[in-house]
């Protein structure tokens, strides 16, 4: 069991098998297909939760009673994405978020953008916070010197490896 389970986890994250990192499902696909069964923890909370359980969850998140009734009315009318968007607006104290939520990752990114004061979420960038503008001639010189330095260090590494393996 453990062997198969760990293989499935590694496969899901692109570490085994075809080495494909699968794209996450959109809201529409989550709402229309693959409802969670007993013991599963995936799915759209607005689509796959019992309305009473959803009401309790929203109360625990300190949503106003008027907001809860608006969200539950949207859920009863099967407008799950609009209910999600209304929830987003309420937790971020925004009157109109100005976009339509279509993906769980979009919910996260937009939430981070609002919490960071309008700055976009950086995706694993290694750039400094305030880049220094340089003239284009200086950029070319710096790039060529950096490339030359990189090439020389790679040559030294290769020589070291050749010496290591020839012994």
Domain segments of the chain as ranges:
26-116
127 pLDDT tier (thresholds 50, 70, 90): very low
The answer, yes or no, to whether residue 158 has pLDDT greater than 60, is no
Q: Would you say 22 and 39 are in contact if contact means Cβ atoms under 8 Å apart?
A: no
Q: Of 105, 104, 98, 102, which Cα lies nearest the Cα of 121?
A: 105
The answer, yes or no, to whether residue 144 has pLDDT greater than 70, is no
Output the CA–CA distances (angstroms, integers) from residue 157 to 25, 146, 154, in the order listed. Answer: 44, 16, 5
pLDDT in tens, 5-24: 888 888 777 777 776 667 88
pLDDT in tens, 20-70: 667 888 999 999 987 888 888 888 999 998 999 999 999 999 999 999 999
pLDDT top residue among 2 and 49:
49
pLDDT of residue 55: 95
pLDDT in tens, 69-124: 999 999 999 999 999 999 999 999 888 888 888 999 999 999 999 888 876 656 54
């Amino acid at each position: 069991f453990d062997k198969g389970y760990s293989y499935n986890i590694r496969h899901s994250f692109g570490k085994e098998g075809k080495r494909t990192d699968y794209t996450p499902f959109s809201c529409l696909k989550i709402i229309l297909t693959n409802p969670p069964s007993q013991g599963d923890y995936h799915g759209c909370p607005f689509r796959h939760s019992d309305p009473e359980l959803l009401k309790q969850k929203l109360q625990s998140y300190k949503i106003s009673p008027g907001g809860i009734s608006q969200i539950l009315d949207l859920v009863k009318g099967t407008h799950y994405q609009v209910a999600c968007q209304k929830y987003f607006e309420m937790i971020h104290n925004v009157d109109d978020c100005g976009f339509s939520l279509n993906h769980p990752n979009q919910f996260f990114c937009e939430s981070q953008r609002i919490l960071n004061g309008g700055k976009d979420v950086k995706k694993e960038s290694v750039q400094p916070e305030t880049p220094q503008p340089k003239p284009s001639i200086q950029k070319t010189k710096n790039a060529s010197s950096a490339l030359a330095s990189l090439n020389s260090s790679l040559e030294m590494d290769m020589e070291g490896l050749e010496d290591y393996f020839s012994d």
